[in-house]
Amino acid sequence: MIKIGLIGAGTVGSGVVHIYNNNLEKLKDFAKDDFEIKTVCDLDFSKATADLGKINKSSNWRDLIADTEIKIIVELIGGEEPARTMIATALENKKNVVTANKMVLAKHGKELLEIANKNNVHLLYEAAVGGAIPIIKPLKTTLVPNKIKGIVGIVNGTTNYILTKMTEKEAKYADVLKEAQKLGYAEADPTSDVGGFDSMYKLAVLSQVAFGADVDYKDILVEGITDVSQNDIAYAREMGLIIKLLAIARYENEELELRVHPVALDKNHPLATVNGVYNAIYVEGDAVGDVMFSGRGAGSIPTASSVWADILDIINETPYFTEKLKKIKIKDIAEVQSEYYFRFRLKDKPGVLADISGIFARNNISIKNARQEGLGEDAELVIVSHIVSEKAKNKAIEEIAKLDSVKKVSSIIRVGI
């Protein structure tokens, strides 16, 4: 009998108990040893939405780790501390650990995987990226015959919900954010999601798994969605483009390119139709070509399904591909190339288009299309460029920002992937 200790009885923790209460027969059919959830730990059980039944309750996580019967610790409290300490302590005490904690994995993954390895126990985290979507395990098993070349994903449900509603309802960012907060899709302080940091942590975790890369998350270029306005979404739509927040990793010439930012995608791109709180992750492998996985990126019971998959893998001693994480050279962001969408707010002076297109020309940036919208106070210029490096783009923008005829560089959004 394998006993499980659950730390956190909140959203995902309650989902774990819900599945335990409802699908126990199928779980037990697959598990090669019998098991039970022995103890659940939280400081406040009032938020638990599942029936805890005969499971012991504790308010001290150290009790669960001290319990010699417990072989698997499931950490579902989120955040950096005390979660990191819990996971490290559990592993050091030879407990297997299942977690959904992308922040801890992004910041301390290498160290924790080494502790797990040293103590001959497992640290699994299917639920850390893409909620319900099987992605970590396919990368570590079914896709092993591939050298992975790239990953592109919509990995944050909050921002995808906001961008979807802005696109479908032609609503403003601030209004949709408020609605998302009311519905529980966005936090009271939404910075981690809308600033792109949640996606950044997930990209770091995916890069560990797909490329064996010991990524410093600070090396990831991160731009959130706070500057994406309804105007951008409307102009993009007219050009057949849909704006999504993407997490992108590409491995080429022994360099890893890592970035999180909004992208204006062709409306027929499969990622352009991934809407609402759904997530989707594209994986490019040298054998499979590209495969895509999509589904609910969050939510109590969907995410808990992935937690149970990990628990069963520990019970069944399922073999995983575990590459030792190593430093991989990170591509200099200045060299990253992209097409761009620019929106400039203008003082409606004659000659502004000539000024701006002159600056683009002198920086060897060719323009795909340009259009001026509105008049007087509302005059805006929208330009889509051909492919250009980050460096050249920055130099041109610096010059444009100094023009008398330009009030503001309102938006800079990459086009296509």
Which residues of the chain form contacts with its own copies (CB under 8 A)?
Answer: 15, 19, 22-23, 26-27, 29-30, 32, 126, 132-134, 137-138, 141-147, 268, 270, 272-274, 280, 285-296, 299, 301-302, 304-306, 308-309, 312-313, 316-319, 321, 323
Quote the least distance from Cβ 103 to its own copies, whole Å: 23
Beta strands in 159-254 (DSSP E): 221-222, 241-252
Angstrom distances, CA of residue 102 to CA of 107, 156, 198, 232: 8, 12, 8, 31
Count the Cβ atoms, other than its own, within 10 Å of residue 188.
5
Residue 272 is which amino acid?
A
Q: How far apart are CA 93 and CA 33, in angstroms?
A: 21
What does DSSP say about strands 278-285 and 367-373: parallel, antiparallel, or unpaired? unpaired
Q: Which is nearer to its own copies, 174 or 288 (CB)?
A: 288
Q: Which is nearer to its own copies, 1 or 287 (CB)?
A: 287
β-bridge pairing 367-373 and 289-296: unpaired
37 pairs with which residues across the strands?
A: 4
8 Å CB contact between 126 and 306: yes
Is 202 one of the catalytic residues?
Answer: yes
Please compute, for residue 132, the number of CA atoms within 13 A of its CA located in the half-sphere on the CB side.
Answer: 15
Q: Provide the CB-side half-sphere exposure for 34 (13 A, CA).
A: 2
Q: Least Å distance between CB 22 and its own copies?
A: 8
CA distance 26 to 20: 10
Comparing CB distances to its own copies, the nearer of 213 and 272 is: 272
> Which pair of tokens denotes residue 165?
């509603």
Residue 42 or 313 with smaller CB distance to its own copies:
313
Q: Smallest distance, Å, CB 305 to its own copies?
A: 4
Closest contact distance (angstroms) between CB of 275 and its own copies is 8
| CA distances (Å), origin 167, targets 6, 195, 234, 265, 267 | 40, 19, 8, 13, 12
Contact status, residue 107 vs residue 134, Cβ threshold 8 Å:
no
Q: How far apart are CA 121 and CA 18, in angstroms?
A: 26
For its own copies, give the closer residue by CB, 276 or 358: 276
* Residue 82 or 289 with smaller CB distance to its own copies: 289
Q: Residue 70: phi, psi to the nearest 5?
A: -80, 125
Q: Which of 202, 244, 331, 393 is catalytic?
A: 202
- Check: CB of residue 203 under 8 Å from CB of residue 388: no
Query: How far apart are alpha carbons 40 and 50 in whole angstroms?
Result: 12
Q: How far is the CB of 38 from its own copies (least distance, A)?
A: 19
Give min distance, CB of 244 to its own copies, in A: 14
CB of 133 or CB of 180, closer to its own copies: 133
CB of 139 to its own copies, least distance (A): 10
Active site residues: 202
